[in-house]
Structure 1
């Protein structure tokens, strides 16, 4: 190639044409929508079966009206069809608030009064077998963890007794043997 001549043209490579993408068939969307609808239905049934949010005792009354019309074979040719109205009243049984079922408290944890444990007087044999021979307990206003929530507390080295009031928010215990309700 001499000066002033242009180089020969280079071939241009273009990508191969792609066929158009067909739209997703309707059944592909249904594979997702139908199970999702089933899950939402089950969640709704579960919420409905659970009842009220606060778990309080409520009585529900429902009335249903049913209208029954006689068939043409049961009627004479010149009689109008009689209507029978039946009213049915359905009353559901009241639900009870869940009561704590245990009369003991394990040696470690924070327990909500009225939900996890019942109010009353509890006794522990003292510290559990551990490196630190102390049994710490505290009656609390709430479970926020604030220092001001402590109503009263103790760090016992032997058997101990505590009375938990119904107005207490929670009871905290660490390093103690099991607490048994005595009254």
Structure 2
């Protein structure tokens, strides 16, 4: 029997055996990578800077310019029995179209049921109808509106006519609504 420190049984190792530490690269190896990277970065920067100048030149070249071509014989040369020298002039002009106004409505009548926008569908003015269309329940409903949202608050004024009716539509009205009425004719 021996007396001394107890010994531990050896444990199996898992994985690859440990590797010795890697020494850093020598100075010359780092320079071999850094110098080409710096040069490449410089060339890319110069290329980007040069490309910016080409856009300005392209924009200037895209603008149309007047072209004049003149063909003539020199004044000090005597030319006998020849026609006068030809002069050719070519000029290029750029014309910009003017925006057109919105067409005014040509309708002097309001044909029937619907909601008509004042200023684009119908003109402001005084309109007259002979009354309701013939139906089982004759009724001519009309309304002057602030807008076309369909909200109750849009109604400026309205009415239910059983006979001839005249309504004045203001240019400040948003729309005019009619339902069950005969054709409205502009009278003023």
Q: Which TM-score band applies after superposition, normalised by the shorter structure?
A: 0.5 to 0.7
Contact 2:126 2:187 in 1 (8 A): yes
SS at match of 1:67: coil
CA deviations 1:24-70 (Å, max 9, x no partner) are: xxxxxxxxxxxxxxxxxxxxxxxxxxxxxxxxxxxxxxx95322344
Q: Which residue of 1 aligns with 2:173?
A: 168
SS at match of 1:148: helix
| Structure 2 residue 161 is the aligned partner of structure 1 residue 156 | yes
CA RMSD of aligned residues (A): 3.2
SS at match of 2:67: strand
> Which of 131, 142, 153 is residue 136 of structure 2 equivalent to?
131
CA distance in 2, matches of 1:69, 1:117: 55
| Structure 2 residue 118 is the aligned partner of structure 1 residue 113 | yes
CA distance in 1, matches of 2:92, 2:112: 57
Contact 1:136 1:173 in 2 (8 A): yes
Contact 1:124 1:178 in 2 (8 A): yes
Unmatched tracts of structure 2, length 5 or more: 1-62, 75-88
Taking structure 1 as the reference length, the TM-score comes to 0.55
- Within-5 A mapping of 1:1-183: 65-70=65-70, 74=72, 86=91, 88=93, 90=95, 92=97, 95-183=100-188
Alignment: residue pair count: 116
Contact 1:65 1:85 in 2 (8 A): no
Q: CA deviation at 1:130?
A: 1.0
SS at match of 1:68: coil
CA distance in 2, matches of 1:180, 1:172: 14
Q: Which residue of 2 aligns with 1:23?
A: none
Q: CA deviation at 1:106?
A: 1.4
Unmatched tracts of structure 1, length 5 or more: 1-62, 77-83
Taking structure 2 as the reference length, the TM-score comes to 0.53
SS at match of 1:110: strand
**Larger Cα-atom Rg:** 2
Q: Select the structure that is richer in strand.
A: 1
CA distance in 2, matches of 1:105, 1:69: 61
Q: CA deviation at 1:132?
A: 1.7
Q: Which residue of 1 aligns with 2:13?
A: none
